[in-house]
Amino acid sequence: MYDHLKDTIKGMAKAQHATLINIRRHLHMHPELSFHEFKTAKFIAQTLNAHNIDCQEGVAKTGLVALIKGRNPDKATVALRADIDALPIDEANNVPYKSQNVGVMHACGHDVHTASLIGVAQLLEGLKEAFEGTVKLIFQPAEEKNPGGALSMIQEGVLECPRPMSIMGQHVDPSIPVGQVGFVQGTMLGSSDEIYMTVKGKEGHAASPQHAVDPILIASHIIVALQQLVSRSCNPTVPSVLSLCQISAGATTNFIPETVKIAGTFRTVDERWREEAHQKMIKIACGVADAMGGRCELEINRGYPCLSNDSALTQRNIEAARAFLGTAQVVDVELRMWAEDFAYYAQKVPACFYYLGVRNNEQGVNAHIHTPTFNVDEAALELGSGLMAWLALKELGVRRRISNQ
């Protein structure tokens, strides 16, 4: 049964590949920022409706949810998620489908995720008599902007009515060649918190520093002190990264300013250490500033939690992916310190997030995500839709066998 279904899905994915390229290029040309994906959402709805697939619009403002119901739809439900927002980046690619919205770009592959999930919808709509259960398709806004669209969608009931037994998502990865996918069992991505510091001193003339309290000097000591947080306070076996990426102060060469602003991110995979590190950062920064005659205000904008894949679900998906693609095309990937609000779904139901290879060195398609030259080998769309449909149906099949025991 499954071999026949696998061949059918592969054939259908191949047949719709050109259509998915057009969908992806339309999305790429018309990117929209987080929680402003109004035209994107309307396009998704119209595309689904054109294939007789109804969807609920306006979930978490600009999100959508669609249900593909097979035979006996109440038996079990599997959810699949794609994010739909773009980044505030000005595209540098010279391609026919270059972004038409200045300063906005699909530089993280969300156009690929969305087009692939539309492809899954079309595939499964044509296979409704071939499976039991329901597949819930989640088109989520605002993955790129804290606090993220996933949290809002969960709060609005996206994981209820029907409640999925598991959820899966994919993310493009330019480090993996097109045609391959990558999996991580257990902890996959780190948490991410934004750090904002304001260091205040006393302004004065550069020629008379004894009459001022130099916030630039204080800020320098704070930066150095905070960099020792990971190297000397964190357990060496716990991955952690503190990166202070912005510093601004002053307007001239001969005047000591009153204020310095610093911003960055803190990432880790241990929630207990995360909380402890927050308190230590505040204590260190404020203590250094106080000791040097100034003061520091530190704000931590709490971001996404670390993302942990369910081990059993991920192992089933690895085995299913090997059956669909061949063992050599399914690779193991190490833990990374990126962050993803898919983590919120993983806190509620068993989840599996995996990587979709999009690199093609011969085509010069190898730029990293979140860069102005990021692009993908669009051959990934055929795999992105076909494999996800296959994983969903295999998971429903697993549930059916479990239910019958």
What residues have CB less than 8 Å from 1, skipping those under 6 apart?
A: none
The rounded percent of the chain whose pLDDT value lies above 70 is 98
What does the pLDDT look like over 100-117, one tens digit per residue?
999 999 999 999 999 999
Beta-bridge partner residues of 195: 264, 300
- pLDDT (average), residues 218-234: 96
Which domains does the chain possess?
A: 2-189+305-404 (3.40.630.10), 193-301 (3.30.70.360)
Q: Are 403 and 76 in contact (CB under 8 A)?
A: yes
Measured distance CA(94)–CA(159) in Å, rounded: 40
What does the pLDDT look like over 60-86, one tens digit per residue?
999 999 999 999 999 999 999 999 999
CA diameter of the chain: 84
Q: What is the dihedral of CA 228, 234, 235, 240, to 10 degrees?
A: -100
What does the pLDDT look like over 144-161, one tens digit per residue?
999 999 999 999 999 999
Q: Please report the pLDDT score of residue 3 as a whole number.
A: 78
Beta-bridge partner residues of 297: 198
What pTM, to 2 d.p., does this model score? 0.94
Stretch among 183-192, 303-312, 393-402 having the lowest mean pLDDT? 393-402
Q: Please report the pLDDT score of residue 1 as a whole number.
A: 60
What does the pLDDT look like over 299-356, one tens digit per residue?
999 999 999 999 999 999 999 999 999 999 999 999 999 999 999 999 999 999 999 9
User: What Cα–Cα distance (Å) separates residue 30 from each residue in 120, 142, 172, 282?
Assistant: 22, 16, 19, 42
User: Can you state the angle between helices 311-325 and 2-15, rounded to 10 degrees?
Assistant: 70
What does the pLDDT look like over 267-303, one tens digit per residue?
999 999 999 999 999 999 999 999 999 999 999 999 9
Running DSSP on this structure, what letter comes out for residue 288? H
What residues have CB less than 8 Å from 217, skipping those under 6 apart?
A: 292
